[in-house]
């Protein structure tokens, strides 16, 4: 079983534990540190899982020259497995699907930026 299947089958989807407005507000942030600080909205267990998943996605994206998986593509591929849409309204479902992909991309981009910053600081020592 791959990670996407596991995330799809857990009892409560990862991003469903936070209010939808949190997803919208995080997508408006620019600073990677501010974006990562929003993870404090998650319960501790879910925050740990999100951080683990982000680290896994960073590992994949760092090899995009070989695997063609950019941060945007990774967010698009993973996001449907991270949020359950409980609505019969197709417009709402489409809007939330896009917003969750944007949210996943924002988190992943922030984690990547901070990882690159940490590497640069480490190399400077």
Entry pTM: 0.91
Q: What's the token pair of residue 45?
A: 């267990």
pLDDT (tens digit, 9 = 90+) per residue, 14-25? Answer: 999 999 999 999
Torsion of CA 23, 100, 65, 50, to 10 degrees: 60
pLDDT of 27 over the 80 cut: yes
The C-alpha atoms of residue 50 and residue 46 are separated, in whole angstroms, by: 6
Neighbouring residues of 102: CB distance < 8 A, sequence distance ≥ 6: 27, 75
The C-alpha atoms of residue 34 and residue 37 are separated, in whole angstroms, by: 5
pLDDT (tens digit, 9 = 90+) per residue, 47-90? Answer: 999 999 999 999 999 999 999 999 999 999 999 999 999 889 99
Question: From residue 69, how far is each of 6, 28, 76, 107 by CA, in Å?
Answer: 20, 24, 10, 16
Quick one: how far is CA 97 from the chain centroid?
13
Q: What's the token pair of residue 78?
A: 């993973």
Domains of the chain, first to last: 3-8+19-124 (1.10.555.10)
């Amino acid at each position: 079983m791959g990670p996407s299947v596991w995330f799809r089958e857990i009892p409560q989807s990862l991003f469903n534990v936070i209010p939808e407005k949190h997803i919208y507000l995080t997508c408006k942030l620019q600073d990677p540190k501010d974006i990562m600080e929003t993870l404090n909205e998650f319960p501790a267990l879910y925050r740990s899982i999100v951080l683990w998943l982000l680290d896994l996605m960073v590992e994949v994206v760092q090899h995009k020259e070989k695997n063609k998986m950019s941060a945007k593509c990774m967010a698009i591929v993973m996001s449907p497995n991270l949020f359950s849409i409980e609505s019969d309204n197709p417009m709402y479902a489409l809007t939330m699907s896009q917003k969750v992909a944007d949210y996943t991309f924002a988190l992943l981009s922030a984690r990547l930026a901070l990882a690159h910053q940490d590497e640069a600081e480490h190399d400077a020592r």
